[in-house]
Structures are given as C-alpha cells and as structure tokens.
Structure 1
C-alpha cells in the first residue's frame, strides 16, 4: 500500500515539471518576438516616411480586393499601385515618380547587399535585380517604364525611332541578323547543286542518294576520253600506253564506257560476258557473231537518254527472244551503259550494247565521209534520226540480218524474211518504211540506199534520208532492173505484214473499249493482227506520252509475247 502511494507522487511530480517547462518555452518565445519588433521599429525610424497614398504591401480580404480593383479601373482613382494576383497583395507600380522617390533613399537603393558586398558607382549593373527578380537599378527601371508594346520587347527596329532597350547592343543585333540572312542565302544557292538536296541530280535507278546521275557519269567519262587523247598527243607511244592502262573509269566488268590500254584507241566498244574487253569495234562484232551459233542477227539503234527506254521498248527485245531464243541482238547506242540489258544476260539471252565506231562501220562504204564530219554532223537539227538511218543501213550491209526499231514488237518468227521491207500504208502507192528491214550481207539494194544517202543528203528534211530514201531507191529499181533481179534485190511486203495499224489510227487503240461494239471491234482487230501480221509498230514518236490502258488493243499486243510480263507498261 505504501509503495502504490509513492508511485502516485512520482506521476504528479512529472506532470508539474512538464507544465513548468512549457510555460518557460512560451515566455521565452514571447520575449524574443517582442525584442524583434522593437528592433524593427527602430530601423524604420531611419527610413523616410511614405505618404498615406503609398501604403505598404498588405494582405487583403476578398471584399477589399474587389473594392481596390474597382478604384483602379477608374482613371480618377489611380494611385500608382497594382494588384498581384499570384501573391494576393498590392504592389507599387513602376512609374517615374516611384523611381524619383527611390533616388532620395540613397544607400537603401541596394537593400539586398551587405556592407561587404557594396558595389561601386561605376559597376552598378551587378545590383540590377534583387532576390525576388525586381529590378532595382535606376537605369533599367527607367527603360522598363518606356516599354509600351511588344515591338519594344522584341527589339524590333521600326522606322527612325530608337527603342530604349536597343541602346548599346541593338546595332550588333542587326548585324548578326544580316549575317545569318546572307549566310542562309549563300548556302541555299549551292545546296541546289548538291545531289543530296536536288532530286533532279539523283540517279532514279540507283539505291539511296547517289552523287551523279547516269547522264553525269556519261559526261564524266567523255571528258576522261578527251583527257586521254590530249595526253596521247603530248607523250610518246610508251608513256601513252602506261597512262591508258592506268585510267579505268570503273573496275567492274559490267560498267559502261570502260577505257583500257588496248586497241581501238583504248575504248571499250561493246560488252558481253566472256568476250575480251580490249577488242576493237570490228573485232567485237566478228567475235560476238562467230562465237555463238546465232539463229538470227538482229540490230537496233537507241540514241535517246536511258530514262526514256521504258517497258514498252523492252517488250520489243522480249518478243525477239520469245520467238527466237538463240538470236543475237546488237543494240547500237552512245547513251546507255554497256550492261544496260543485264537482266537478259542473267537469263542466258545473247544481247550486247555496242557503241558504233563510224570509222570502222562505214569503212569501204559509199558513206564513209560521214565518219570524218561527225563532229559537225551531230550539231544538225535531225542528227539523231539521220544517224539511226545510216547506222541501220551500214549494219545490214556489213553483217546482214534484221533491223527493228525499238518500238516494234515481233508477233511471229521473222527469220524467213530476206531482202524485205514493208509498205507504210495499205494504199498501193504508199511509201516504204525502214522500221522493219531484213537484208543479206552486201545487199545491192542497201548499197544503192547508201549511195543515195551520200549523194542526196539533206540535213534540213526529216524523212528525206529515211522512208523517202527507200521509196526513191525502190522506184529506181523498178525502172532499171529486170523483174528477176528486182525480186532478188528487194521484196516489198504489204503494210499488213509489218504495220497493221497506221500512224493515223494508232492513238485510238491505246484506250480500252467502253461499249460492247468497241470491244467487239478491238477483239476482231486483235485476232486479225495475230493471224496475219509478223510485227506490230506502236509509232513511239506519236504515242510516247500515252500510256496503254489495261485491256486496250495496244496493251494486249505488247503483253502477248512478253518474258518479264509482271512489269507494268
């Protein structure tokens, strides 16, 4: 019992001690707060008293705020203060009067700096802003008061007015802007010539972004040819041989114009897998025809840019191999790469792109003079057409075989034709057309055509040296030769054999039939052409801008004897 009473006294004693400690803490806190207030009041005695208008920042109730905002909207009640919605307090606005009052405060213009951090008058920019980002530097405050619009804040230069914030470094701002503008203009002028930024300078057939287009590569190689020729004139034979051996435009065997140190002026004239790259033009042609047992020799000429050789032109080559898988096709061209038909080569077809050497091709022919005037001849208006007409005559005369325009599709085997050319129209007096010609080697008719080409050449007339030339020579044979000799020299085939649709009606058959009568007409035309005709000419000079519609007569003919039939026309 006595022990329990002792425990109660201990509890009372602890409670009393805790109460005394709490009262001591409250008294100490009150004493310190009273001391701080007295110290603050003594400090405020040294500061100039503000007017009744210039009240200090005070927390306001909602009613006071609405009353204050209403007075601020009244011009007669403007007091120089504004309401800060973020802090919910009234602040002194920046105006010239407040700044002038601050100047009277003296040392109190830098209240946030201690005595050790006092700033000299020469470097007052360090005290430009206080701890709450309020500018206290007089010069900055004066300039901020003069900012009236967004143009001032953006440092824009409008007219002759000088905005306050532009003083000092506004001129540098203008010069920097001018420099950036000029630099952008300078770089933009050269970016146009960069293939990375200009799609016109990129190779459409290449992967990714290429540095040079095919046309650029051809021009580059042509310049290298001229460089090699100039070096050969200045150096002796031995040094020329070394230079020619060292100049290789493309080490790949399947490249375009490759230059080596071999015969034929160091130029590679043709390409076919397995043939020597140093062969001259004549040797290449002889080896190409002699090495392979060709069932038929076919010649074509292409002198337009490579990108113009479309699927419809390739259908012509496909149709030749469709009916004559063992034929040897030579495409004479100065514009396409020597491995242009590599897809056909991979599938085992015999096709070679050959760059004509006019000196060797026209040698011992009546037209050999055109090789010496080639540089002047190529500047004439109809050079590409006349060049093609001369090449086909020379190739048939020297090697014999069949010549086909690149816009001709073979519908049936044509190896049986000899010394044949077709009429252009169904009319009896129609002109002859050289888009399809089959002649034996050293043909007298072809020789007469070359004589006529040389004696009556006119570079101002388009058809004079082509279709009209064949018609003139054929007319001379009818009056000079007896019927037996004429039959051996020339066989004129009707237009339905080579040109079933004339150039006047070809465009209508690029459109698919709409009505039943049109469909029946085109079906009948297709059956008649496939039964009677050996070739089909789609007259590319008139229809190059047309795309054959699916199920149209032209589309059905082009896809009739195709090999790579999935390619879209």
Structure 2
C-alpha cells in the first residue's frame, strides 16, 4: 500500500479539534461584548472548557492497563513483589510503572530535565578533570545501580517472553524518550511487519515511562508484544567477565572517557542481555524486510575485501546468538579488559571484529558471518541517495533496480541514523517505497 493511502485519523481530528475550540471561543467572546451577564457566564464556560480538556488529556496518560489501555483511578497503584534471582516470579503487567500516576509538579520536573544527560562529560576536559566530574555525577547515575524499579527487570522480561514469542528481539535506548522519534518508531513498526508474533524488549529507563508508553501504544493496541523496561545493569553483568569492570567504574577510579558514557553502556548492555536471554539484538535505525527468527549465531560484515572476499570489518548493530553462547563470554571479557572510553567504536564494532579475528578459524564457536548485503546493503556514505525522489528516467530505473536488489538479498537495511537522521524521506524514493511495503501503522513516513 502506498504511503499516500495510509493516514492517521488522529492527525485528521487534531486540526479540527483545534479549529472547533477557536471557533467556540470566538463566538463566546463576540457575545460577551454585547452582554455583561453573558460575559461573566461565558468567561466561566471558557475556563471550564480549557480545564476539562487539559484534565482529560492528563487523565489518559496516568494509570492504564498496558494491555487494554483501561484507565485506573489516579490515586491507586498496584504492586506485585518479585522474588530475586534467575527463577524469580514474573510481575503482573498491570503493576508496571509505565502508567504510574504523576503529579503536575513531577511532570514539570520531568519535562525540564528531559534533555539533561549526566552521561555526557565536559568538553575537552583533562583526564583528572573528567574523573573528578564523574565522581560528582556518580550518585545521579541510576543506570549503574539496582533500584526498586530496575530490580523488577528480570520478572518483566520473563512475562514478556512468556507470550509464545516466535523470536526474542532486543533494542537499547539510553537517550531521552523525547528523542525516540518517527525513525525509531518505524524501525519497531517494520519489525512487527516481518515478525508479528515476535516479542521486542526495549531496554530503556526513559521509555519505561508514561511518555514512552504513549509512543508505543499504537503498536500495543494492535496486539504486538513490545515492552520498554528499565534495565538492571548489575544483574545483567553478574557472574560475567564484565562484573569487575562495572565495580571499578562505580568506584570512581576509572576514566569513563571523553565519549558520552551512554555509548559505552549501550555496547555493554547489548552483549549482556544476549548472554542472559539469547535472541536478536538490533540498533534502532533499521528497516526490517525479512523475518530474522530463522537465523542462529550470526553477525554481519560491514565490509569485505573484494579480492579475497573475506570480511574486513564486522558490526554489532545486528547480533543473533543463543543464550550463553561462548563467543558472548569472549565479547564481555574483551570489553572489560580492553575498555577505552576515548575511541569511538572501540568497545562496539571494533570489539566484535577483534574477537572474531582471533577465533575465526576455531570451529568450536560455530558462527555465521553474513556478507554486507544481508544487514548493511547500503554504505553510510551512499545512504542519502535512498531518501531522494527520482527526478529523471535514469533515476527511476536506478531506484527500481536498487529496491529489487535490496528486497531480494537483504534481511534488514541499516539507515545509519548519524548520517541520515536529518534527511527527509521524499515521496517516491527507495526509502519511502521500502517502508510502505514493510510497516503496519506507517505514520510519519515523511517526517525526519
């Protein structure tokens, strides 16, 4: 179905509602000028109208059943104790904090701090200055600790994956919920277009919130198994080679590096969650074209040597592994022993390349390395062309051929968001056509 044929009823009603409010207000004000009595009554009516509208908007995001959307009284909360450990009981979805009641003051604080990130170090700070800054920030870094919310992590994961999932998917989002935009939503949407019976866990404290719930609600309402959960990092690395590394970091005696810490923690979390549960990890800037659930113990090459056809660089943006796979232990050990917070990619794509280079001839690990076309069919340097509308007959032929090649040979397409985030998806482009064929809701296709 073409993107023109799919539209949001909500997007059509929004302008109408705004127009209706303005029209009503105008008529009331006009009458107020003619009658002092009507003026008083009308003013009260306007204030009530505005207050009631705001009240209903706020009510809709407070206490809700995550499955049905049923609104609960804002003064009630439900909690279910969780037994600690690998065998802990699953928590009821009704007790999850995604729809917890918030006061006006709490919401104001949440909005004011939405863009504050304690994981970003001072610009051009020396090592000593950076470590001093990090020690001051440590009490704020909830992600490094277990707390009342994160300790429910394991139980909530078990409940999600107990929904007869055809595959277990993971994404990590350590940025704000506000920055989880149309592109990220399209990635999640397209996942369920190829694997509607799959289960997606988004490890994110910001998305594990009323705001995050509102973002994911269109998919939840359609019955898809997607859940954002605050990760418990100490639990994830417990009894792995990365546990001592986390202890050292929390001691304040390790240089976190000049690169924002959330980049490094994202690299660690993806390895740890795959080790603990097994499944498919993906970054949030992919479009899904085929079902990945049939793949096992696989990773993709980003580049190959054209003469030897051997890979030259791997990328951990897609990783598919069985639970407790031995190569994941090697990844976690490499992370802990060679951590460098000052080199981009050192703890991510370069890490998986280093480890697999050492063990590439060892049959014990039994890993499949897919060629670039499988997960990275378009290089980041050339990705912008997929967003452009064909202007000539030659452009149209290129778009048709490119779309056919990608559709035949690729499981997913990496959008390289750092390169393409600000690009608009132009109508008729390869990207627009690809998304229109692999989405359920298909809203905001043309938004950046």
* Length-normalised TM-score, structure 2: 0.64
Q: Deviation per CA, 1:332-360, whole angstroms, max 9, x where unpaired?
A: 11222442412211111111101111111
Question: Which residue does 1:431 correspond to in 2?
Answer: 313
Q: Verify: 1:498 aligned to 2:370, yes or no.
A: no
After TM superposition, list the pairs within 5 Å mapping 1:126-525 onto structure 2. 262=81, 273-274=93-94, 280-289=152-161, 291-338=162-209, 339=213, 340-372=215-247, 373-374=249-250, 381-427=259-305, 428-478=310-360, 481=362, 484-486=363-365, 488=366, 490-525=367-402
Q: Deviations over 1:219-242 (max 9, x none)?
A: xxxxxxxxxxxxxxxxxxxxxxxx
- Is this contact kept in 2: 1:426–1:496, CA < 8 A? no
Would the alpha carbon gap of residues 370 and 380 (structure 1) be closer, same or farther in structure 2, given more than 3 Å must change? farther
Cα offset, 1:369, TM superposition? 2.9
Are the structure 2 counterparts of residues 333 and 379 from structure 1 closer, same or farther at C-alpha, using a change threshold of 3 Å? farther
Task: List alignment gaps of at least 5 residues for structure 2.
Answer: 1-52, 67-71, 85-89, 98-148
1:545/1:259 Cα in 2 relative to 1: closer, same or farther (>3 Å)? farther
- Do 2:299 and 2:370's aligned partners in 1 also have CA atoms closer than 8 Å? yes
- Cα deviation code 1:409-451 (max 9, x no counterpart): 1101111111100011244442101111110000111110000
Q: 1:375 to 1:282 in 2, by over 3 A?
A: farther
Distance 1:275 1:327 in 2: 23
Alignment partner, residue 40 of structure 2:
none
Query: Contact between 2:259 and 2:343, CA under 8 Å: does it hold in 1?
Result: no
CA distance in 1, matches of 2:332, 2:428: 42
Measure, in 2, the Cα distance between the counterparts of 1:346 and 1:320. 16
Contact 1:380 1:459 in 2 (8 A): yes
Question: How many angstroms apart in 2 are the aligned matches of 1:543 and 1:469?
Answer: 24
Matched-pair contact (CA < 8 Å) for 1:312–1:558: no
- Distance, in Å, in 1 between the alignment partners of 2:413 and 2:155 is 33
How many residue pairs match? The answer is 315
Distance 2:415 2:256 in 1: 27
Give a deviation string over 1:195-236, Cα, whole Å, max 9, x none: xxxxxxxxxxxx769999xxxx9xxxxxxxxxxxxxxxxxxx
What is the alpha-carbon distance in structure 2 between the residues aligned to residue 555 and residue 370 of structure 1? 43
User: Is 2:256–2:341's contact at 8 Å kept on the other side of the alignment?
Assistant: no
Distance in 1 between residues matched to 2:92 and 2:180, nearest whole Å: 20
Shifted more, 274-283 versus 379-388: the winner is 274-283
1:536 alignment counterpart: 413
Cα shift at 1:566:
4.1
In structure 2, how many angstroms separate the alpha carbons of the residues matched to 1:500 and 1:357? 34
**With CA pairs under 8 Å and 6+ residues apart, which has the higher RCO, 1 or 2?**
2
Whole-angstrom distance in 1 between the partners of 2:404 and 2:444: 24
User: Unaligned stretches of 5+ in structure 1?
Assistant: 1-206, 218-249
Distance 1:306 1:533, change over 3 A: same
- Contact kept, 8 Å, 1:299 with 1:331, in 2: the verdict is yes
TM-score computed with the length of structure 1 as normaliser: 0.51
User: What is the rounded CA distance, in whole Å, between the counterparts of 1:527 and 1:272 in structure 2?
Assistant: 45
Question: 2:57 & 2:218 partners in 1: Cα distance?
Answer: 24
Specify whether residues 276 and 551 from structure 1 end up closer, same or farther in structure 2 by C-alpha distance, changes over 3 A only.
closer
> Structure 1 379/307 Cα, relative in aligned 2: closer, same or farther at 3 Å?
farther
The answer on 1:553 being equivalent to 2:430 is yes
Q: Name the CA distance, whole Å, in 2 between partners of 1:523 and 1:534.
A: 18
Cα distance 1:560–1:271, how it changes in 2: closer, same or farther (>3 A)? farther
CA change 1:297–1:454 in 2 (3 A) is same
Query: How far is the alpha carbon of 1:273 from its aligned partner?
Result: 3.7
Residue 438 of structure 1 aligns to a residue in which SS? strand
Shift of residue 307, structure 1, vs aligned partner = 2.4
Secondary structure of the structure 2 residue equivalent to 1:431: strand
